[in-house]
Amino acid sequence: MAWTLVQSFKYTHKMNYIHIPIYQDQPRNQDSLQWEDYRLSRSRMDGIHKDSNSKWRFTCNFDKDGLLHTDYVIATHADIPILFLPSNHEACHKFEFIDIRGNNCTNCKVWTAQRDNWSFHIDSYHTNGKCKTNTFPDSISCNENGEDNFGFYVCVNPKHRCSSTNESTTELWFGGQ
């Protein structure tokens, strides 16, 4: 697989990303990679996706730790068309592999959300009930909000590698063979 970074941000910069869905054109430092604040334009993301990139993934702290499979996600654009999800979207989707704080599953359904004013993210707390699974038994809730993983970060579990410190980073990649 070959992977192209399309977005990366430091936890302290989450407010620059929290209200921007993946499908919106909001480039940031796209001509100068900055792990703490980087996002390609929508047209560049579309071009990468069309160039035989069939998968996408989220990583945490890639710039410091490299590729780890703890707090890691991989899915196909066919199963979850991340660039083309409708606004106000919330649903269970099939992931090839997902790990949240050491709890993981393969080819399983997980709750995702994205709205016109919410970034795409995985809600591990609501996955357990809405997707009829108990994959993430130690997920937290904040009032009625479930734990936000790999984006949005309103209800945060500090045990998740992408949100464990102010220096933590969240990365979105598109990949293909």
Q: How many domains does the chain have?
A: 1
pLDDT at 64: 96
Residue 119 resides in a domain: yes
Instruction: Report how far residue 105's alpha carbon sits from residue 121's, in angstroms, rounded to the nearest whole number.
Output: 17
pLDDT tens by residue, 106-120? 999 999 999 989 999
Residue 107 resides in a domain: yes
Residue 171 resides in a domain: no
Residue 174 resides in a domain: no
Instruction: Report how far residue 84's alpha carbon sits from residue 24's, in angstroms, rounded to the nearest whole number.
Output: 10
Residue 177 resides in a domain: no
Give the pLDDT mean for 142-147. Answer: 91
Residue 173 resides in a domain: no
Instruction: Indicate the pTM of the whole model.
Output: 0.95
**Structural domain boundaries, residue 70:** 3-166
Residue 176 resides in a domain: no
Residue 16 resides in a domain: yes
